[in-house]
Amino acid sequence: MTALLDEAGVIAMAEAMSKALTPGEVVWLSGELGAGKTTFVRALVRGLGAPAATSPTYSLVHRYPSPKGPVFHVDCYRLRNPSDARDLDWETLSGGAVLVIEWPERAPGWAPRPTRRITLAHTPNPQVRRVDVE
């Protein structure tokens, strides 16, 4: 599915998706810088009933408690090369938790396969994003 959404639409989509997520699911978020990945994650985490999400840019991984179980948010942007991803405890991150991975393409061979794949992209209108959902 492809949609053209403003920020409120991206947030609404993420919150709606959160209702369908179950423990063990892996969500990949791809897109250019500033395309809305972190906005999507914040809304998704909020929709899961977890406290406010922040970008894990400095720690790479954030854990949030939620009524559906733990939610892990991994931001692979700062990985210098794909082999750096081996240091993340992927088994723990994906074992029974909802796992959301930003920039999964920076951890090829390490990031667990997605159950849902979201790609956000800029459009000529700076207020609108293209959102592709697989």
| CATH for 89 | 3.40.50.300
* pTM score: 0.91
pLDDT tens digit string along 7-36?
A: 999 999 999 999 999 999 999 999 999 999
State how many domains the chain has: 1
Please compute, for residue 37, the number of CA atoms within 13 A of its CA located in the half-sphere on the CB side.
25
**Does residue 54 or residue 96 have the better pLDDT?**
96
Better pLDDT: 57 or 95: 95
Q: What sections of the chain are H helices per DSSP?
A: 7-20, 37-47, 90-94
Strand partners, 133: 118
Please provide the distance, in angstroms rounded to a whole number, between the alpha carbons at the two ends of the chain: 7
pLDDT of residue 129: 96
Taking the CB of residue 68, how many other CB atoms lie within 10 A of it?
17
Question: The domain containing residue 113 runs over which residues?
Answer: 2-133
Backbone angles phi, psi at 110, to 5 degrees: -115, -45
